[in-house]
Amino acid sequence: MNNNSKKYGFRYCSVCQSKLKKRGKTAAGKQRWFCRFCSQSAIKKRLDLSRGFMLEKFVSWLLGKLSQAELTDPSRTFRDQTAWCWGVVPKPVLSGEIHHAVIVDGIRVGHIVCLIARTTKYVITWVWVPYESSEYWIHLFRILPQPKYVVCDGQKGLLKALDICWPDSIVQRCRFHAWLNIKTKLTLNPESKAAQELLQIARDLLHVRTRRQARRWKFRLKYWHKKHKKFIDERTIKYNPRRGERRWRYTHERLRSAYKQLAKITDDLLRSSYRISLNLPHNTNHVEGGINSQIRTKLKLHRGMPQVHQMRLVDWYLFSRTEEQKAPRNCL
């Protein structure tokens, strides 16, 4: 193309390099250009706009419910036109804001894990890692400034990373995860009276809201232990122990384990909840229910995609839940 095309605002013929002339408009209302020498006609295209609109169409389909067969365009045409869109990776905009409360959790997608950090209103950032460990949680925490309050599910690697990166943050373990663990150990229909009482105490933990209720709940747990201490300390003799193994075991191991877990996390659960404010979250439902469940639904709607395409779906969904989300065409 000749440099004069920029000066006069029109193009030169791609065949003979002659100057193009205006000749009417297309059915879509665009200006048509015509070459008098080789009879070639063309319209002025903006590839950035066409690519941007195609990317928005692709993201709309990816986050929607329609299959490729239900689109207006033929399935093969749509796949050919949007093949390049899988390579566009949206990135969150990190403003450096110090958040008062941050909720962290992960979701497994295929053979990898996505670690997510969000507030109660929007997603802050996310990273892809092979698995959950303290090393990879540290990688996520170093991206963000230290908040005052962190809500998590109490995974060991996560707690270790918090001690290293955010030692001054108050950690709130998810009460619902604690309840699920206790329910797994005791079942919903325990046989012994002690187990039934402990199950009710664990269930009531979900409804603690005030400082007075917290102190009352802790007293109930201590009273339960004093009342059933002899029962949970009962031992059973092993007749054929393995070499180096002790000759006895606790008769009610699962009940004892459930109590130990509640006793271990009680101070952490209650102290952190009432030191700051009653309006702060005390579970990870904002991630589990607000993010992870939606991701699983969308992956199910587009089941059959390879691992890389599943990752891109999660990226675009999390990007759509960020605070300063941009139009997909602005991610090019």
Q: HEC string of the chain?
A: CCCHHHHHCCCECCCCCCECEEEEECCCCCEEEECCCCCCEEECCCHHHHHHHHHHHHHHHHCCCCCHHHCCCCHHHHHHHCHHHHHCCCCCCCCCCCCCEEEEEEEEECCEEEEEEECCCCEEEEEEECCCCHHHHHHHHCCCCCCCEEEECCCHHHHHHHHHHCCCCEEEECHHHHHHHHHHHHCCCCCCHHHHHHHHHHHHHHHCCCHHHHHHHHHHHHHHHHHCHHHHCCEEECCCCCCCCCCEEECCHHHHHHHHHHHHHHHHHHHHHHHCCCCCCCCCHHHHHHHHHHHHHHHHHCCCCCHHHHHHHHHHHHHHCECCCCCHHHHC
**Looking at per-residue confidence, does 51 or 331 come out higher?**
51
Work out how many domains the chain is built from and give that number. 2
The reported pLDDT for the residue numbered 313 is 95
Mean pLDDT for 96-119 is 91
pTM above 0.85, yes or no: no
**Looking at per-residue confidence, does 118 or 331 come out higher?**
118
Tell me, yes or no, whether 68 lies in a domain.
no
Tell me, yes or no, whether 136 lies in a domain.
no
Tell me, yes or no, whether 212 lies in a domain.
yes
Tell me, yes or no, whether 27 lies in a domain.
yes
Q: How does the average pLDDT of the chain come out, rounded?
A: 85
Tell me, yes or no, whether 242 lies in a domain.
yes
Tell me, yes or no, whether 102 lies in a domain.
no
Tell me, yes or no, whether 218 lies in a domain.
yes
- Domain at 37, CATH number: 2.20.25.10
pLDDT in tens, 208-243: 777 788 888 889 999 999 999 999 999 988 888 788
The whole domain housing 38 covers: 4-45
Tell me, yes or no, whether 326 lies in a domain.
no
